[in-house]
Amino acid sequence: MHIQPSQKRRLHLLLNLTRLMWQKQSLISSFTGGRTEHSSQMTDKEAEALISYLQDQGQDNDKDEINKRMDKMRKKLLSYVYEMRWAAPGDWTTALQKIDEFCTGKHGRFKKPLQKHSYEELVQVVTQFGQIYLDYLRGI
């Protein structure tokens, strides 16, 4: 059976979302065993396999994006530590140690080291550090 219109729309949407549209012809060729490079000539099973592959790629892209956001939040924590003079600027070892002491200590909300926090937990830690930083600025 030929590709369904809904599959074709989904396929093109996923190619755009995963930024793989430039590889469309080679992807179609590989999923059709070289029979065609055109989505309109795919079978519904071939299209479903390619859609599944692209969905997996999209999930990987989502994971990369979350990791980038988490790194940005960790860097924000480092900047707070440097600004509050808990560590000398550029002294990553001491700064990370101070953050871990805070996170695992009595004031830490989740009682675990920085790298062990989930995305949602890290958002809360950054918010908590932001409040401490504002208190620090009021005290200057």
Contacts of 120 (CB under 8 A, 6+ apart): none
More confident residue, 64 or 22: 22
- Residue 43, strand partner residues: 2
Q: Where are the domains of the chain?
A: 5-64, 66-139
The pLDDT, as a whole number, for residue 112 is 92
DSSP string, 19-55: T-GGGHHHHHHHHTTTS-S-GGG-BHHHHHHHHHHHH
65-105 pLDDT per residue, tens:
888 889 999 999 999 999 999 999 989 899 999 999 999 99
Do residues 11 and 47 lie in contact, with contact meaning Cβ atoms separated by under 8 Å?
A: yes
Report whether pLDDT(60) > 80.
no
Rounded distance between C-alpha atoms, residue 101 and residue 139, angstroms: 22
The pLDDT, as a whole number, for residue 65 is 80
Count Cβ atoms within 10 A of the Cβ of residue 54 and give its class: 0-12 exposed, 13-18 middle, 19 or more buried: buried
* Residue 117, number of CB atoms within 10 A of its CB: 21
The pLDDT, as a whole number, for residue 59 is 76
100-138 pLDDT per residue, tens:
999 999 888 899 999 899 888 999 999 999 999 999 999
Do residues 58 and 17 lie in contact, with contact meaning Cβ atoms separated by under 8 Å?
A: yes
The pLDDT, as a whole number, for residue 104 is 93
The pLDDT, as a whole number, for residue 126 is 95
pLDDT, average across residues 48-67:
82
